Amino acid sequence: MRQMNGWNRLRTAALSMAALAATSVGSTADSIKSYVTYNTVGNIDNSQGVTSTGLSGSSTVAPIISFDSVTTGSFTAPSSFSLGSFHVGELNAGVSTMYKDTPFSITLTINKINGSAPLPNQTPITLTGKLNGTIADASQSDVVATFDKATLDKFQTGNYLNTLTVLDNSVSLVPSTTNNGQTTAQAKIFVEAVPVPEPASIAVFMIAAGGFCLLRRNKGVSQT
């Protein structure tokens, strides 16, 4: 009986140590900073939902809202950064163009983290949305770019987990007479370290598991 009680106490201790080690291994990562270099590629499908009026008797063609991508950009996360700019072209007087659920997309690629190419790298990732509104003459625009999702699912770059959030889910596009017709879309990336087992936690877990196996073996010997 005394031997059985001793074995039960040791087994309980071993299981407690194993549970503690497992908890340490799965702890939540803290927020950290990282220096990110990136680029974006934007696309607007002007073949869908775009209609123009006032073009008869004029050589003016309907303006195409374009997207000025970021060729090479950098920022220190967590920080806001530019996804690129929507660019509204100029219209002649009496001409207007309407956008109805015209799709757009912005693809983000992270090239380096703290000066090195990340591995694994789960980018490029793509944000999508729709354009709605009307451009009239050269000085009027009520077109709004609305993103389908303000926050994307987490993605991994090297030893980091990233959460991207668009700062303004709906962006009002200025006409060509304001800021050269450019409206910047901005986002922010929140960075976490990928949780990894700590050496001390692994050692505790191995000791606990080894002790548990030894106890089982001793119990088997005592019963023979």
How far apart (Å, rounded) are the C-alpha atoms in residues 30 and 59?
59
For 176-193, the pLDDT digits (tens) are 999 999 999 999 999 999
Q: Is the pLDDT of residue 63 over 80?
A: no
Residue 29 lies in a domain: no
State which H helix or E strand residue 207 sits in.
helix 199-223
Residue 89 lies in a domain: yes
Residue 206 lies in a domain: no
Residue 136 lies in a domain: yes
Residue 209 lies in a domain: no
Q: Is the pLDDT of residue 172 over 50?
A: yes
Residue 20 lies in a domain: no
Q: Confirm if 67 and 82 have CB atoms less than 8 A apart.
A: no
**Closest Cα partner for 66 from 144, 172, 187, 181?**
181
Q: What is the pTM of this model?
A: 0.74
The gap from C-alpha 102 to its chain's centroid, in whole angstroms, comes to 23
- Chain position carrying tokens 């609305």: 146
> Across the chain, what does the average pLDDT equal?
82
Domain count for the chain, please give it.
1
Residue 110 lies in a domain: yes
**Closest Cα partner for 129 from 110, 109, 108, 144?**
144
Residue 8 lies in a domain: no
Find the domain containing 117 and state its range. 34-193
DSSP 136-160: ETTTEE--EEEES-SBPPPEEETTE
How far apart (Å, rounded) are the C-alpha atoms in residues 87 and 184?
9
